[in-house]
Chains A and B, each alone.
Chain A
Amino acid sequence: MKNFRDSEHLLRFAFLFAMLFVLFLVARHFVVPKSFGEYGHYRGAAIAEMAAPQPHFAGQSACEACHTDIAAKKKTGMHSGVHCEACHGPLARHAADPASVQPLKLDTAVLCVRCHAASAAKPKNFPQVAAADHSGGLACETCHHPHSPAIQGGGAK
């Protein structure tokens, strides 16, 4: 009895500690998101949230669904592997509603040299030219059609 009377103050401190712990457990119950731990140590709902945003680039198959003529032309040429939006830019809104957004007219003087300007750093088998010497100032599409760039019959078609 004497031992208890002289040590009960320790229990007071322990009680304080225990109360904080209970408070913590209660708070934890309400604060931790419901889907936490669904797949692992994270908020499971985050996966669906990350999958939700709308793309800006529609993707090649969306383009080809309508532009069958250009798709057919591209397939035969050197640019068959280049997807439409790689040059024309993000056009998901155009794919959803063609009338709403029209692709801009492209400036081949800027666009073509982005890839084809000669540089010793590029793979040797990649077609590249020193633009100034190559065309004598003529626009690229004078000779090369971007959708099928090989020169056919010696000039523009």
Chain B
Amino acid sequence: MGGVEGYMYPNEINLYWSVLIVVYPYVTGLVAGAFILASLVRIFNVREVAPTYRLALLTALAFLIVAPLPLLLHLGHPERSFEMYFTPHDTSAMAMFGYVYIWYLMAVLLFEIWLDFRQDIILTARSSKGLKRTFYFLLSLGSNNTSEHSLAIDERAGWIVTLIGIPSAFLLHGYVGFIFGSIKANPWWSSPLMPVVFIFSAMVSGIALVLLVYMFTTRVRRREIDMPCVDTIAKYLFYIFIIDFVLEMLDLVHRIYVADESFRSISFMVHTKLYFSQIVLQIYIGTLAPLLLLGIVQVTRFSPAVRKAIYVVSAALVEVAVLSMRWNVVIGGQLFSKSFLGYTTYKIGLITHEGVLMSIFLTLLPLGILWILVKILPPWPDLKRGMNHAAGTTMP
């Protein structure tokens, strides 16, 4: 058998969860993280990051639309996926996905975006003609009320939706962690910390993504990057990343110290097959380097140009860290035998439907969708139409 060292149960030699299942929690995590950043503005009244509020919402939506695709493509029978909605098994963590997803899509993200953009949609419908007018009319669901009072009601409703949205975002991604954390047969996954680690790494990756998207789009639009905004985002990124890193290290240290029956096997794996993706990519390059960079910014006074460069580099490294963390969890969990006596090799395809190109496509697809969303609903803070919810208007 190619790629097997030691002893694998014969059915374990092939990996059943491919790189698509790496992409899936990564994309879902970006959704949750982007939404948490938006909620900073609305619920936690962090006014500095207001310029990214609408962009964060649209980013979350773009990634949420793509989130189920890697799952669907990975299924042996995607045409049966509706069964997950019709006969969800109440003891299965995975059965929750359909419902959490729809809840999050419809009740949280779409609703909040609709509320926030409703006035813009109506105004666009009024000022345009033909198909465009029809399109925006449909988007407005036929409502044509932009009175002060109705907007105030939207504001209040949006605040409530965001309030519900925060636990929903935690639920959406926490449950992804629980899918892995609840598998008692697999010691690499089985951990009550798994959902927590997933949530915090999701926040980190989502915040870093919105930071990158904001800086990139602002540059493309030839506008000034709002330094207090990116400084604040970077500060939050730094602190949340510390929590995330501490949790992950806690998990690691606990494993090393407890050293249960699986430890020798897993330790060997981390030092060989996962060495590059776990130790080098995730911990050194993806975590310690950006933590150092972001930490230095917190205690020194660099010029805006230097800070911007540091933020871009750090945020990009954070994405590397979180993506490799997903890889290490999903693929790492299948490389060692549940007999703890051997290791297999993941033979990743390039152009197969579960291969590298498909994964890259699915990871980048949300950015394409975001581009379209931005065309339909411009989120730019400098395009205010009389009123800007994002500028830190908060409700009691």
Contacts and interface: CB of A to CB of B under 8 A. Distances in A.
Contacts of A157: none
A47 interface: no
Given A5-B145, A8-B143, A36 B111 contact: no
A24 B150 contact: no
A13 to B, nearest CB: 6
29 contacts: A3-B149, A5-B145, A5-B150, A6-B145, A6-B149, A7-B150, A8-B143, A8-B145, A9-B118, A9-B141, A9-B143, A9-B145, A10-B153, A10-B157, A12-B142, A12-B143, A13-B141, A16-B141, A17-B106, A17-B107, A20-B106, A27-B86, A28-B85, A31-B82, A31-B86, A32-B86, A36-B87, A41-B89, A41-B90
Interface string B114-143: 100010000000000000000000000111
B153 A7 contact: yes
Nearest to A12: B141
Contacts of B118: 9
Interface of A: 2-3, 5-10, 12-13, 16-17, 20, 24, 27-28, 31-32, 36, 41
B11 interface: no
B150 A13 contact: no
A5 B149 CA distance: 10
For chain B, the bracket of interface size reads: 20 to 34
B147 interface: yes
A16 B89 CA distance: 27
Contacts of A32: 86-87
A28 B106 contact: no
Given A3-B153, A41-B87, A41-B90, 14 more contacts: A3-B149, A6-B145, A6-B147, A6-B153, A7-B150, A8-B143, A12-B141, A13-B111, A13-B114, A17-B107, A27-B82, A32-B86, A36-B87, A41-B89
Interface in B205-245: none
A9 B146 CA distance: 10
Interface centre among A3, A6, A24, A27 (most CB of B within 10 A): A6
